[in-house]
Amino acid sequence: MERASVPAPTRYYFLGFPNESLNEKRKTRQQNQNFTVLTLKSVQAGYGKLMVLKGVSLHVRAGEVVTLIGGNGAGKSTTLRAISGLLPPFRGVVEFNGADLTRLPPERIVTLGLALVPEGRRVFATLSVTANLELGAFHRRDQKQARKDLEEIQERFPLLKERASQPAGTLSGGEQQILAICRALMSRPRLLMLDEPSMGLAPLMVSRVYDILRELKEEGTTLLLIEQNARAALKLADRGYVLETGRIILDGSAAELRDDPEVQRAYLGKGYREVWE
Amino acid sequence: MFLQQLLNGLTAGAVYALIALGYTMIYGILGLINFAQGEIYMFGAFVAVLLLGAGVNFFLAFIGGMGAAALLGVALERVAFRPLRGSHPLVPLISAIGASIFLQSLALLLFGPNDRPFPIQFTFSTITIAGLPLSSLQGAILLAALGFMALLVVFVRYTRYGKAIVACALDRDTARLMGVNVDRMVALTFLIGSALSGAAGIMMAIYYNATYPRMGLLPGLKAFSAAILGGVGSIPGAILGGLLLGVAESLGAAYFSSGYKDAIAFAILILVLLFRPQGILKGRGD
């Protein structure tokens, strides 16, 4: 029911809404970039009595790639956990396509079209690669279409087909990351959130993962990306936020952030760069 | 003699394995040992006996007994375990022991302290294969138990909900991110595990021709040992552990002394805990 009332995302990909005129209206709205998919309004969240997020406000528009950068413990992962429902916020509002997520459990939130690729990949290690992908579509009503999507993904990433019946835990870290991203795509998200997709990967795999993200971006998938690897993230993103000790201290277009001296010093390691590059 | 004992052992072992599957599945998803598993086994047997006494046909009574056991398991999870989630691991353990005592007393009140014979007498023939007299009752129990196990393995491996249960056992938060409702999967696990225990109870009630309130105590503890032996949390482990334990018990009784029959299972439990506490096949969610 919610599904019908939610405005369309950017893509052909998710929907066959029967109402074409409505679709058109939505499309123009998105092209005007007025359409905000996700909004956080002064979200406070944390663990027990420890407040990690001290009022985070941000938004993501349809078709955008937004990145959230910051150091260790700044609250990046906590922000994603708060959005996905794993860590219900103390205070504040999380709005997704007009629906209030603040009190919803994660298993409901994913049905609204919000998928998270968790930190550290978290593939189901003893289950086969295919079973992992199938679980990504667990909540979907259209299981037939989900099976087609599975084939499509296997075609696009032959690796996942070659290793189809292999336990996911036997894949390399980078392969697991690709699997985790594809697993999230199996839910046909309107917004895909990624928590440190480059963490712990070999440089070659980092660029492979970012190639995939770039393809997704070109297809118009909306991404919210969290990274410690600010350089890679800002290269891909349209906009970014800088998070420090639970607060947004800076936001702007990716280019602005790349040129910001403070960001360069703290997150891009300028000055250091010439030495090793 | 040896083969006869082996068959005896496999029959008892298959029943232990069915109960052990309940232990192991519940441990896999919740990380707790449901010590009331033996009472669920007993309730399955009692409901089947009562239904048969009321003139219901055998297969319906069997399914009724399994269904009653399954519902009891789900109710138990709601009342005794779900409210305690997130507490210290000892707390649900105590709750399980409490539930076990409660159910035994309830059975004593409802059904009385006496043994009830199984209402139907099966006239099973003895088949002689290669000079060995084999009871076809044992054969039927063994086949039925193995059939249930095969069904369970197929369910867990190949169905959507089976995989979702494994996913919950492996990583609850990530399973929720996939849209899996963990509470529902826990209930489903209790439903299936308890139905299997109920089936085991009915089979043993037929085998020993006796149903009584404390009948679940010893098989429950032995199945617990079997689950530990195989590696608690592992489904193949529970099956293997159950069969091994049954065979060891039966051969031990034949070659040492039948007086030590029950001691053998627990001696194995102690040895496993001392030397290979993770069990033969360790791991969750296989």
pLDDT digits (tens, 9 = 90+) for B127-184: 776 666 678 888 899 999 999 999 999 999 999 999 999 999 999 999 999 999 999 9
What is the per-residue pLDDT across A238-253, written as a single tens digit (0 to 9) for each? 999 999 999 999 999 9
| B67 interfacial to chain A (CB closer than 8 Å) | no
Q: Is there a domain that residue A82 lies in? A: yes
> CA–CA separation, A89 vs A94, rounded Å?
9
Q: Is there a domain that residue A70 lies in? A: yes
Q: Do A135 and B176 touch (CB under 8 A)?
A: no
Complex-level ipTM beyond the 0.90 threshold: no
Model confidence at B249, pLDDT cuts 50, 70, 90, reads very high
Q: Is there a domain that residue A139 lies in? A: no
Q: Is there a domain that residue B286 lies in? A: no
- What was the pLDDT predicted at A270? 60
| B88 interfacial to chain A (CB closer than 8 Å) | no
Q: Is there a domain that residue A264 lies in? A: yes
Closest-CA distance, A178 to chain B, in angstroms, reads: 16
Q: Is there a domain that residue B138 lies in? A: yes
The amino acid present at B12, given as its one-letter code, is A
On the 0-12 / 13-18 / 19+ scale of CB atoms within 10 A, A209 is buried
pLDDT score of A22 more than 60: no
Q: CB neighbours (10 Å) of residue B227?
A: 32
Q: Is there a domain that residue A29 lies in? A: no
> Residues with Cβ < 8 Å from A254, sequence gap 6 or more?
A67, A234, A235, A236, A237, A238, A239, A240
Backbone φ and ψ for B117, nearest 5 degrees, come out as: -75, 160
The residue segments making up the domain with residue B230 are 2-275
Cα angle, residue B285 at apex, residues B284 and B286 outer, rounded to 5°? 105
Contacts of B166 in chain A (CB under 8 A): 124, 126-127
> Residues with Cβ < 8 Å from A75, sequence gap 6 or more?
A52, A53, A56, A243, A245, A246
Q: How many contacts does A have with B, using Cβ atoms within 8 A?
A: 69
How many Cα atoms sit within 13 Å of A152 on the Cβ side? 12
The residue segments making up the domain with residue A113 are 36-121+189-276
pTM of the model: 0.88
Q: Is there a domain that residue B153 lies in? A: yes
Q: Do A135 and B180 touch (CB under 8 A)?
A: yes
- What was the pLDDT predicted at A33? 53
Give residue B276's Cα distance to chain centre: 22
Q: In chain A, how many domains are there?
A: 1
Instruction: Give the CATH number, domain containing residue A95.
Output: 3.40.50.300
Q: Is there a domain that residue A241 lies in? A: yes
Q: Which residues pair with A39 in a beta bridge?
A: A59, A95
Q: Is there a domain that residue B198 lies in? A: yes
pLDDT score of B286 more than 50: no
Q: Is there a domain that residue A11 lies in? A: no
Q: In chain B, how many domains are there?
A: 1
| B159 interfacial to chain A (CB closer than 8 Å) | no
Q: Do B174 and A122 touch (CB under 8 A)?
A: yes
- What was the pLDDT predicted at B285? 46
| A146 interfacial to chain B (CB closer than 8 Å) | no
| A147 interfacial to chain B (CB closer than 8 Å) | no
Contacts of A125 in chain B (CB under 8 A): 170
What is the per-residue pLDDT across A154-175, written as a single tens digit (0 to 9) for each? 999 999 999 999 999 999 999 9
What's the whole-number average pLDDT of chain A? 87
> Residues with Cβ < 8 Å from A195, sequence gap 6 or more?
A76, A77, A80, A116, A117, A118, A119, A226
Q: Do A138 and B164 touch (CB under 8 A)?
A: yes
Q: Is there a domain that residue A147 lies in? A: no
Instruction: Give the CATH number, domain containing residue B264.
Output: 1.10.3470
Closest-CA distance, A233 to chain B, in angstroms, reads: 23
What's the whole-number average pLDDT of chain B? 92
Contacts of A107 in chain B (CB under 8 A): 176, 178-182
| B130 interfacial to chain A (CB closer than 8 Å) | no
> CA–CA separation, A198 vs B208, rounded Å?
61
Residue A178 vs residue B131, higher pLDDT: A178
